Every structure is written in C-alpha cells, then in structure tokens.
Structure 1
Amino acid sequence: MTGTARALPVPDLTDDALAAVTAEVADTAAEYDRSGEVPVRGLAAAHRAGLLTATVGGRYGGPGAGPRDTARILAALGEGDPSVALIAANTLAAHASQAAHPHWPEAFYDDLLARSAAGPAPVNAIRAEPELGAPARGGLPRTAVRRTASGWVLDGHKSYATGGTALAYHVVWAVVDEPGVPRVGHVVVPADAPGITWLDTWDHLGLRASNTHDVVYEGVELPADAFVEIPRGEDGVYRDPAAVTGPGSFGHLALYVGVARAARRAFAEFARSRVPAALGRPIATTERIQSVAGEVDLQVAQAETLLHGALLRVEAGDGAVAPQLPLVKVAIARAVVTAVQTAVAALGNPALSRHNPLERHLRDVLCVRVHPPQEDVALLVGGRRVLGV
C-alpha cells in the first residue's frame, strides 16, 4: 500500500496556500448551493491541494496531519464551500481513524489510496437511519450483516449519507444478524458494490450541495474482514462512539468557523460598497457598522481561540480538558451562529436576498447544531459532572 500512497498529492498547509484553495472553492459554492449537485469542482480543488488525503498515516506514505492541521484545512474549505468541507471532514476522519487503528480490509484500503491518488475519493461513516434517527441519541441499528460461507451480506436503509454518489467507500454502522447479545460494528463497503441504491431525499436548508441522501443496501456481499466490531464497555454496555466528543470530532466544528469567516468577509465587502443616497458615503464609515463589524470579529476570534486552544491542550496532554470538550463544542457553535446572525441582522433585507452570500452563510452555519453531541446533551452531561450526580 505504501507504494500507491507515494502518488498522493502533497498538501501545502501554509496560510497563503490554504487561502488560495478557499478562493478557488468559493468560486463555485453559490452555483452548487443552487443546483444541489455534488460539488465536483470544489472537491477537485481540495484534492489537487492534497487536502482530502492530509490525514493518511505515515505507514501508508501519507503526511499524517493531526487534529490542529485538520481543523485549519476544514476551516479553509468551510470558508469557501461548507458542502465541500463536510465531505472532506468525513474523509479526513476516516483516514485518521485508519492511521490510528488499522481496521480496513487491506485490499480495500489499498484501493482507496489508489483512487485517492487519481482524484477525489470521499469516504463517509454512514450511521443514521429513518426510524432510529441519529445513533448518538441511543439505540441499535436495523441495518444488519449476516454471515455467509465466504463473508457477509449487508441489508438496510440509511439516512443522511453525506457525499452521495461521489463516495468511493461507505463505512456502514450495522448489527450482526445472529442470536444472543447483539454485536455492533462497521462494515467497509465499496461504493460500486452491487446492491446499493440511492434515494434522492436531501432538500435541506443548508449544506445543500453535500448530497446527504438516503441509501439502501440489498444483499450487498462483502469479504469476511469487512466487518469491524465495536466492543462493549467493561460493564457490558454498548456505547456509541459518536456520542463521545474527542479531538477528531472538532473537524466538523472547524468548517463552521470557516463559514463565520466567510460571513465576516461578506459583511465587510457589502459595507464598503453600500453608499445610501441619504448618507453619501459607504456605510462602513459609520460607527454603528464599525461596531457591528467588531462584534462579528469578536465572535469569530472566540470560536477560533476555543477551537485551537482546546486542541493545543489535548496535544499537551492536559487531561482536564477532555470532559469539557462537549461544552467547548457548544460554545464554538454558539459563537459562529452569533457571528453570522449579527452580520445579517445589521444589514436587514439586503442580507436575506439570495443575491447576497450572507443569506447562504446563515443557512449553512445553522447546520452546526446537528452534529453530536447536541447542545442539550452536552449541557446535561456537563451539569451532572459539576454537581456530582
């Protein structure tokens, strides 16, 4: 596999290089937001810059980017097009997981690296289901794998499968169809395997180009090593890994920090160009708009500082930050939403026009709230920890 990985594009993670990718991805963001199509040009730009494979581990010949560089990448992509960034976040998380704990069938990961050398090869952990909803809220999937003489057969229906037909591989959350205590895990599935059907269900307020559709698996045949069991805890209870906030999950937060940055830029550009007849000069010259710009910048700075500060503490081995990470997630989400809402409120109707990018940024940033753990869960757990109950 290492020989294949040598052909991966090498990422340049300097600020200037990331800014150039942001600008290129942003050029097509509005177009894909309108059409809802897979943002192929944005993904191609991210691929050429080596940003879709930045977390491929050193053992596979990749750069092995850590959580902080991953956050910088996703903030840059999110500033350009958060739909591209969401697909990238899932892909980078999959490579980082494989680098930390190799679990993919060797032939499948070798194939993924080969595809990643040739072009964008997105991956997503596909978990939610129409009846179950988000697994972080508890419960077991109905999607199941059944043993056969040669491996496994997968059947089920999944929701919110970001990436859609652009995916190269699916990592599907499933339960083993067998008697006794249920075994739960993930199955690695090539996207071109027979028996996969996509249902075009995604018609969302934000991240419209993320192609987060439903997908159905019917009799999908897989090799014996395609299933990776998630072990139960010492108390014998299965706990969903997505319900635990770790450094890797901050990548999704980072893309919304990028959205807030984009809103800050859009606000400033509008303020410099808007010259009301009664005023006779750009509204950017007024103290009111200058104060609003300062408030927007305050919220962006707060989100960036919380994001990178938490990751720096993790890197330094500060164990005290671990139980606070879900609350840091909540604080970052509040800051980025406030930044965009503040900009929109100050400009009024013009900011809500589809001719103004702030309207798109507002829709996109609201999606930060759906990523687990959601605010009510994080506050409840944090409160119980503080109270010792």
Structure 2
Amino acid sequence: MNAIFSSAKHSRLIYVLFLVFVFLIGGLVYLSWSFVAQNTIKFLSPVNPSELKPQIRNMSDNSSRFNQNQIVGQVLMTTLEGTQLSASEAAWLRDGVVGGILLLGRNIENKDQLKALTTQIMLEASSSGVQPFIAVDQEGGSVARIDWIEKTAQVDITSTDQAYQVALKRGQALKDLGITMNLAPVLECSSDQESYIASQGRSFSNHCLEKAMAMVKGYRVAGIIPVVKHFPDGLAWTTTDPHKSLPIIDQDQNQLLSNLQPYRQLIKANIPALMVTHLNYPLLDSRPASASYFFLTSLLAENFSFTGLIIVDDLSMKAVADNYEVGEYALNSLNAGADFLIASSPNDFEKISKTLFTAWQQKQITKSDFDRKLLHITAVKQSLNEH
C-alpha cells in the first residue's frame, strides 16, 4: 500500500512539474512574440495608384494638367544657394519642375530662419500642386547640417533602444522645422576602422542591422522619411571618398552578396527609400553601381524584391563629374532602374533637366518609364500625409 501511495504521490509531483514547465515555456514564447510584434517594422506596403490622394494620384497618372518639364522635374532633387529662396528657385517650385530640395549647411542659420525657409518652399510649391521632398543629411556626428538638434554619431549608439530614441527625437525636431526626409541611417558595417565610412564614425560599431531597423522605425514614427544608405555597401571596404574620386571595389558576386545580407533583411521590412552611391565593381559591371542595370534592377529590384524608392547619391560628386558627362550619367541611372536623382550643383540640375527632356523627346526614355518612377515617388509622398 505504501508503494502504491508513494507511486501516486510521485506521479502527482511529475504532473505539477510538467504544468509549471508548460507555463514557463508559454510565458517565454508570449514575451518573445510580444517583443517581435512591437519591434517589427511595417511601413510601406505596395501602393495602388487608385488609393493615392487625388493631388498625388494625378501626378503618378501623368494627368494632362502636368507638362513634360514638370514630370521630368519630379525625379530630381537639388539644392539652394542661400538662406532664402532666390527668384529663380521660387520659380522652379511654382512651376513644379523640381521633386525635392536638399538643405545644406549654407542654407541653415537658426531655427526661425530655417522654419521660414521650409514654409516658403512649400508655399511656392503649392501653386503647382506638386509636393516636393525637403531633405537634409542629419546622420549625426560628423554629418549633421543642423547644430542645435539631436546629433549623436552612429558609432556612439550602443543599443537598439538608444537608436530608436535618437531617431525619434531627431525626427520630431526635423518635422517641427518643416523637413520631411532625412538621408540616414548609414547601414554599412565595417570591421576596417580605416575604411571611408568607419573612419568618420558614421557607421554603427556592432549590431548594425538591428540598430538601423530601430532608427528607421524612430524616424517613421516621427513622420520623417528615412533613406537607408549606402547601397551596395562598398564604402565599408574602401578608403576612397566618392566626393573626390570613384572608389574601386574588387569583390566578386559571392563576396558582394555576403556583404549585402543586412540590406536584404532591411528591405524585407518595407523600408521606404534606399540610396545607391557611386562605386565601381569591375568584376561585376563596367558601369558604377549608381548607373548599373545589374545593381539597380537585377540585384536590388528583382533579386532583393525592393519596391521602395531608389535614390541615386549626389551626381555632383567627383566620382561622377570627373569621369562622365553628368546629364548622360543621370539618363543612364534612370534607364538602369533608379527612381530619383540628387544633384547638389544647380548647374548640374539644369544640365540633367535638359538632357532628360531631350531624351524623352528622342524616346531614349519613355512616358511609361517616368510613370513607374512617379509611382514610387508618390507612394513615399503619400506616406508623409499619413503622419
């Protein structure tokens, strides 16, 4: 009888321990699921033109109320000469022939001046019915155009929570100033501290993907469009500054794809925009990545299934200017799969505009090509109206 009692008591003990085990496992699964659910980035899903707001949908449909100069202008971003709009700059905006304004240090003096400038930009643009991006490079650290707002360097960000909070605070400040797009964060993750990007403290020191995801989320919650950069990661593997000359990256396809895994993962999170910079991979293509069908279409759009906005880095950099005619390079970039081009030199902006207009007339680029690019551009602009 004692043996039976002991056996029954032992069975109950096992049963109780089993229930405790199940409870603990269930709790861990729940906590894990909750963390993932709260930290998963769900920003932009594919946009149907019929779902766009009327004033934006008309542009993506190439309505008859928009002329060719306006349509060409929507794929271009340029800069301003000073702290106020000049007569010609105001005319660009009123005529709707520019898709975005990139603010540089020379455009920024103080909070009141900057807020007045962004207000003036949007006021002038309102007459054309075309909403321009107002962008800035506010990565933090050595690349911070606005001194008085949050500017922690990426290398000094030690956790994903800090990354989120930095981006949220910075994004809120940018939005208050009338800025809608930040050319950040930097995704390159280099073990080579002598590389161009790491030597300036512009990259995270570890957990680059997770911290970049957190910053993207922070910016989006603040109502700012983040532009992840610099695809295809080559600035982590060279000491050459593309502002001064064209970097050469001697990597084969296997090496490239291995280095691009963080980009692939971030793209799965539906990031709104990605910047492609000027890097030459001679083992893969004779053209630099920013004008390469292999990089922009075969790899980024098709292999990585990126449906967001493909932005080409500043075409006024010497990586382009010293090796190519800027207008032709811009045309090649668009035909290779880019959606949106930056030209920090107003002279380059004018050259590119003329080249693209002529190319359209000569059918070197078609109306349907612009339609596809405008759909990507307007989808991102639509998201601004949701915040």
Indicate whether the TM-score tops 0.5. Answer: no
TM-score, scaled to structure 2: 0.23
TM-score (norm 1): 0.23
